[in-house]
Structure 1
């Protein structure tokens, strides 16, 4: 009998495209298109094993070019090895899911005539996707649960950027 959930132990890649993501950098607000992907390992959800699985990120990276010519990259960090999202069945007929992506990330700014800046997120990036009808997703739109601030690793009080919006489509993009 099919549960409608992906098999435990499988690794599922999804492409990602965020058009018009909003970043605050150096006191300015900029829009950037970020493209890349995520790969997640499916694990048992001990709290709801029949209606849910956990999704542990094993790879995440999106990159885009800022208006000033610099490149911005959001990539999975090692800091949150315990971080996991979830795929939950919210309705059985027709089948619908809620998808929660939770990824500890770093932000890297690199580009012409400037030294690279690497900053760690103060908390994981959390994306919420509701009313998903299939998994892996096929162009479903996720939204950022809350803005994410990034601070330089050797000066945690110094916020260098904030990801304010991240309207990302995943799978089939």
Structure 2
């Protein structure tokens, strides 16, 4: 269990307290964090109503590298949620650990540095899928279409608001 130190100033006096952070949920199959983001590996991926081949196919992902969020695990199946909030079960072999994001803002400016005043390297249309590289508290480094640069984290779907990646 991880402990967090909280420091509070009251009338010029600093009070420190330790609070236990809630342990993050882990998948029963992989022991990886739940929820977590991954991407679709295949050019077509069936999304089923339940975890198994006998369950009806509700829809098909037709876009390779689409980011999805894993919300549950059952044997070789992962329940995923897409950007629109739709969820279903996908076989683990159709998923990749390669991280991607979807641009969630039209004409998102990709900048040379994680700074709003940095030169613009490209403008990305809403719905573009980009490979996720690094992320700080507010900015993420992306690569797509031969361009590489930084964009505000809040304009992307497929990365948690508190996620840091080096």
Q: Same fold by TM (over 0.5)?
A: no
- TM-score of the two chains, using structure 1 as the length reference: 0.24
- TM-score of the two chains, using structure 2 as the length reference: 0.25
Instruction: State which structure, 1 or 2, has the greater radius of gyration over its C-alpha atoms.
Output: 2
